[in-house]
Amino acid sequence: MGDTLPQVPFGPHRISRLVIGGNPLRGNSHFSDELSQEMRDYYTTENVLAAWFEAERCGVTAMQSRGDQIVMDWVDRYRDCGGTMGWIVQTASERKGGDIADNIREIARHRPIAIYHHGTRTDRLWKEGKVESIRDLLKLVRDLGLRAGLCSHMPEVLAYAEEHAWEADFYMAAAYNLSRVNRESYLVAGGKQQKEVYDAADRERMAAFVRQTPRQCIFFKILAARRNCATQETVREAFAWAFDYIKPIDVVDVGVFQKHANEIALDAGYVRELADRIGATRWRAAASVGRPA
């Protein structure tokens, strides 16, 4: 294990305030078909495992990815090789027949620490007036002894769950509202990049929700799927912005592409520098009045 990173409780576990995301591992760049193909070509099983062990070396203690068969096989191999990071898992909405409950039961057999409901599917059910159907799935996750999470790109969806006392242990909160336009996720859409909108105003709206909810949040898409990565300074600025606004119990989730640079080490360096410093004054002041500043 390399240098440690700041950590927070996550139910009975402790996780680093940087979680390594999984979209690039499955060739989902959220940027272009060309970059997605480059990611698919690079992320062989060997390179996926190398990335996860590099994350451990950099002090990361949790990873996030989707619960499909390819990833479950990678996780089994990683564990067989001595991997120790906790696994936070997204349900796989492309599953044949759409049986998410069966997918959850299958994921649970691979020893995750948490399962959350896929955000794009959450948003679609919201728009169709069927979002209440998710509650039984969250209950199933908790009945299996795991932390249950709800993911959305739309702060109003998470606010609804909050107002109606859903039994979600944590929220996966996207910095950008990709559901401004109707879309399907990458694998559901057959491996083709869908139209996505990255509006800076959306990140302020979701950050406002993350600050006010007492529930723990995993804040993702802070780099806008590489759109905030023109230079390492812009990457650092995105991390600084995130840690200035999220709560001290919250973490960031960032996908990495290791082909051209050791992004894991770079990101871990920013979190090590910023997570315990940025926002400290804001939250100390908030404590005196019982709410975020």
What is residue 192's predicted lDDT score, i.e. its pLDDT?
60
State whether residue 209 is helix, strand or coil. helix
Give the start-end residues of each E strand in the chain: 7-10, 13-16, 18-20, 62-66, 86-90, 114-117, 147-152, 170-174, 216-220, 251-254
What is residue 185's predicted lDDT score, i.e. its pLDDT?
56
What is residue 234's predicted lDDT score, i.e. its pLDDT?
92
Q: Quick check: 196 and 186 in contact, CB under 8 A?
A: no
Sequence-distant (6+) residues with CB within 8 A of 261 are none
Look up residue 193 and give its amino acid: Q
What is residue 16's predicted lDDT score, i.e. its pLDDT?
97
Domains of the chain: 7-287 (3.20.20.70)
Classify residue 24 by its DSSP letter. Answer: G
pTM of the model: 0.88
User: Phi, psi at residue 83, to the nearest 5°?
Assistant: -65, 140
Bridge-partner residues for 173, per DSSP? 152, 219
- Record the tokens describing residue 170, joined without a space: 């944590």
Q: What is the pLDDT along the chain (293 residues), one digit of tens a residue?
A: 457 899 999 999 999 999 999 998 997 756 677 888 998 999 999 999 999 999 999 999 999 999 999 999 999 999 999 999 999 999 998 765 569 999 999 999 999 999 999 999 999 999 999 999 999 999 999 999 999 999 999 999 999 999 999 999 999 999 988 776 664 555 554 556 556 677 788 889 999 999 999 999 999 999 887 787 789 999 999 999 999 989 999 999 999 999 999 999 999 999 999 987 765 545 444 443 333 33
